[in-house]
Structure 1
């Protein structure tokens, strides 16, 4: 039951942080959303910022796990790249809110925390970010060796691709004038152009 309630708190916090903003959200609001008194939240998280760090860590971990699963099963680096780029937009509205929280608050991972629990959660999320960037850079280096993309610095390309993707969640709204499918098509075309992939290769290919 404790694990379920902790999950409920995280989900409620994502909704609040994503809609209203992290700074504007009161810890008591999240408590009310899950039917707890404000002090009861401290059984699960030391603070609102501790909760935020856990959200960021889980978001990055999920992205890393999906990336690893897709690229491991891909018959070629190009197939893996296309599949990963399309998968980045297979999102629920809740996923979009979590992405918004991630890009808005990721800068907080750079500052040490005096609280041991907060610092442990901060380091976990920061290290997870580095693992994700390393996985992307290693994959892009493989794609270069296979001739799927132009040769360039894989670390810089990783930051360029992820930076372009992250920029979407600063402005995209699920009920806005631009639909997610339109954003997907625009982003993938720009990312592939940046990587040097021909436009005719932009559709994922099915393995035989």
Structure 2
């Protein structure tokens, strides 16, 4: 599968799926595709729609991507790479107690999807449109993300810090809630990313039975 002119994570243009190593036209195509997929859905989007939004000819898209499906796959793979890297970094830099680590990793995931919620929505809705090989890789990375949360919550239970009966199900619930921020968060709305992160951190700690939930 072609990835001509494309490199690995980070973002000069404000989108997590655009990398500093991307050629300008490839970057424009990816950024435009995020918006078009987000508003029209995968099946409602044509290559010509992405090209028009990016300000390029449809033929230019094929200089960088094999197909519309390839564009979607690139977006979803880069998004999960960003989330996984942010979560790993948060885990390793947090204080080693379970509560601090849980707050850190919740903050990483919520920040990722509150910063660019449309990508979170695309990931949840359109994953099945990616080819099986790429989908398997994306799912394996999601599972790696889940294992970080499993590890933190199980550690908290083993230490007697978290009080809950079903750590695995609780971990799944917390991750789903954090990723789900992308389904509703409005970056231009009343609540800031920082406020939402703080609320989700407190709710996560309450969910695992740590301390007493305090209203804002």
Instruction: Tell me the TM-score range normalised by the shorter chain.
Output: 0.7 to 0.9
Write the deviation string for residues 151-192 of structure 1: whole angstroms up to 9, x where unpaired: 444331221012222333222222345554554344333322
Aligned residue among 111, 117, 123 for 1:90: 111
Q: Which shows bigger deviation, 83-92 or 7-16? A: 83-92
Q: Counterpart in 2 of 1:192? A: 205
Q: Counterpart in 2 of 1:69? A: 89
Q: Counterpart in 2 of 1:48? A: 68
Structure 2 gap ranges (5+): 7-21
Q: Which shows bigger deviation, 32-41 or 87-96? A: 87-96
Q: Which shows bigger deviation, 63-72 or 171-180? A: 171-180
Structure 1 gap ranges (5+): 204-208
After superposition, residues 20-169 of structure 1 pair within 5 angstroms as 20-75=40-95, 76-90=97-111, 95-106=116-127, 108=128, 118-169=131-182
Q: Which has the higher helix share?
A: 1
Aligned length: 195
Q: Which shows bigger deviation, 1-10 or 24-33? A: 1-10
Cα deviation, residue 92, structure 1: 8.3
C-alpha distance in 2, partners of 1:164/1:92?
11
Cα deviation, residue 194, structure 1: 1.3
Instruction: Tell me if the contact between 1:148 and 1:197 (Cα under 8 Å) persists in the aligned partners.
Output: yes
Q: Which shows bigger deviation, 146-155 or 10-19? A: 146-155
Shift in alpha-carbon separation, 1:94–1:44, aligned structure 2, 3 A = farther
CA RMSD of aligned residues (A): 3.0
Superposition TM-score, scaled by structure 1 size: 0.77
Cα deviation, residue 35, structure 1: 3.6
C-alpha distance in 1, partners of 2:112/2:149?
20
| Greater RCO (Cα-Cα under 8 Å, separation 6 or more) | 1
Instruction: Tell me if the contact between 1:137 and 1:155 (Cα under 8 Å) persists in the aligned partners.
Output: yes
Superposition TM-score, scaled by structure 2 size: 0.74
